[in-house]
Copies of this chain bind each other. A is one copy, B any other.
Amino acid sequence: MERKEISKAVLKRLPGYLSYLKSIPDDTSPYISATFLANALGMGEVQVRKDLALVSDGGRPKIGYLRESLIEDISQFLGYDNTTDAILVGAGKLGQALLGYSGFAAYGLNILAAFDVNPVENQAEGRPIYPIEQLESYCRTNKVLMGIITVPGQYAQEVCDRLIACGIKAVWNFAPTHLDVPAGILVQNENMATSLAVLSMHLQAQMKDKK
């Protein structure tokens, strides 16, 4: 179907639908309605209906969507069908954990290689780790568009600048730092420190209430 403009809010809800649709056992009805999906996920029916209409034109009145087609439409919309090549900078504990996480393939992410100032081990989980000096030549040769930053906070901006100079258009930032980027570059922050702070704060408040 023709691609429509879509808000970030919708985009954030789509993986949830997809995950739920994939979890439905094969032996149930091949059709699913927006109403059913909304109830299952505890969401508003109107919102689900609108979201689905943006990514699939397979919905039929009173019947709903063919589940398999809807899964395909959402996956395609989210770009999970296309493989995105990425490189990772900072092969410390977190970087190596991400390198070793095979689950990314399901979302179309392929981490080609990692770079580090100190490439002591020269590979992790089958992916090469190169010295950081080779970053520029590698990115240009392989036309990489996505960079994953897993260096300590104080080096993140410098690494980000180098990635952008190499032609990177999307940055997945795991460093707990704000990154300045020019227009046209997207930074997606994955701040585990923030998440932990939110959780920890909640537990502290719980303890206080108990006293």
Contact = CB atoms under 8 A, between A and B. Distances in A.
A160 B68 CA distance: 28
A93 B84 contact: no
Given A23-B154, A101-B97, A203-B146, A198 B8 contact: yes
Given A84-B203, A186-B202, A178 B16 contact: yes
A146 B101 CA distance: 23
A199 interface: yes
Interface string A46-85: 0000000000000000000000000000000011101010
Contacts of A126: none
A195 B14 CA distance: 11
A172 interface: yes
A204 B15 contact: no
Main DSSP-derived SS at the A contact region: helix
Interface residues of A, number: 65
A176 B19 contact: yes
Contacts of A104: 192, 196
A203 B79 contact: yes
B19 A193 contact: yes
A177 B20 contact: yes
A39 to B, nearest CB: 12
Contacts of A102: 93
A98 B196 CA distance: 13
Nearest to A3: B208
Given A101-B97, A169-B206, A198-B12, A153 B22 contact: yes
Contact of A109 (B146, B154, B178, B196): B196
